[in-house]
A = this chain, B = another copy of it.
């Protein structure tokens, strides 16, 4: 009672009256030597049979799968659907498909991959910071990994945001507007990326003579921003810098509960990531972000390089810049 078995290349070849090799060449994307006559017959045969090449077999034969893996902690790591949408479109545009892997907090990534195809993808884009470069390198082939989680490693190529640049601009903006004191709301401080970010804020604040009143540890989420906002001394604080837009949104809403203003007037509020939500009227939060198109372009460029080139292990830096909105 099995449904009709999938037609194979042999079936096509047989119907067209040619050898399997000819059929293979006629159906190949690259130009291969085949007489126009036979190519035509093969194509017609494939059409009538409803033939669809088995990519597993093809991959096994020529050792390419046209598959890239994207590793994230949680989906929210992407922090921005627009980025993901663009990334997916561009990756597909170069003829590759994306296998999406979510590596939950405590769980071991390796067990997820054990029985999946992910081990043998052309490349792995690592957004997740579940592991350092060494672990990822062990999981995948060395030159197949692209670190996008802010972690650097001499042996592995990476595309990283130059967050320091945007933070400088952001703090400079606050200083120019007369801010003298500030509060910093941070994310998970065990993250290397977050540590670097915090260091940038500290340095920039010091450079401008802005006093850092304190650092409150959140977890990037709206809820944590909302909760921590209770600790803000509205009268003494000139600016609140958050290392995520979501936390800034939480701060904004918490503030509105006490002061029915659209935007805080006592202190300035700055977020981070420039997520698309900050374009909505309700959350006009000044933020820091990079040009998504350039970011994605850099990723795709590396993906397009033959593996030997990737050995150079590019450490690409993408600029970030301050984006001014109502709260800043």
Contact residues of A with B, CB < 8 Å? 1, 3, 6, 29, 50, 52-57, 59-60, 65-67, 70, 74-76, 81, 84-85, 88-89, 92, 95-102, 104, 112, 115-120, 138, 141-143, 222, 249, 252-253, 256-257, 260, 262, 277, 280-283, 307-308
Q: A88 touching B100 by the CB < 8 A rule?
A: yes
Residue of B nearest to A253 (CB): B281
Interchain CA distance A283-B280 in the complex, whole Å? 11
Residues in B with CB closer than 8 Å to A138 are 50
Interchain CA distance A280-B29 in the complex, whole Å? 50
**Do A65 and B117 contact each other (CB < 8 Å), given the known contacts A3-B141, A59-B56, A102-B85?**
yes
Q: A112 touching B84 by the CB < 8 A rule?
A: no
Q: A104 touching B81 by the CB < 8 A rule?
A: no
**Min distance, Cβ A48 to any Cβ of chain B, angstroms:** 14
Residue of B nearest to A84 (CB): B75
Residue of B nearest to A116 (CB): B97
**Do A222 and B280 contact each other (CB < 8 Å), given the known contacts A55-B115, A66-B115, A117-B67?**
yes
Residue of B nearest to A283 (CB): B282
Taking a contact as CB atoms closer than 8 A, the residue among B52, B60, B222 that contacts A56 in the complex is B60
Interchain CA distance A91-B213 in the complex, whole Å? 46
Residue of B nearest to A1 (CB): B308
**Min distance, Cβ A194 to any Cβ of chain B, angstroms:** 21
Residue of B nearest to A81 (CB): B75
**Do A102 and B89 contact each other (CB < 8 Å), given the known contacts A117-B55, A141-B6?**
yes
Taking a contact as CB atoms closer than 8 A, the residue among B3, B81, B118 that contacts A81 in the complex is B81
25 interchain pairs, CB-CB under 8 A: A6-B141, A29-B115, A50-B138, A54-B60, A55-B116, A56-B117, A59-B117, A65-B117, A66-B116, A66-B117, A70-B100, A75-B84, A96-B116, A97-B99, A97-B112, A99-B100, A222-B280, A249-B282, A253-B281, A253-B282, A256-B262, A256-B281, A257-B281, A260-B262, A282-B283
Residues in B with CB closer than 8 Å to A84 are 75
Q: A57 touching B55 by the CB < 8 A rule?
A: no
Q: B118 touching A89 by the CB < 8 A rule?
A: no
Residues in B with CB closer than 8 Å to A143 are 3
In addition to A56-B60, A117-B117, A222-B280, 9 A-B residue pairs with Cβ atoms within 8 Å of each other are A52-B120, A54-B60, A56-B65, A65-B117, A89-B102, A92-B101, A97-B116, A100-B100, A277-B277
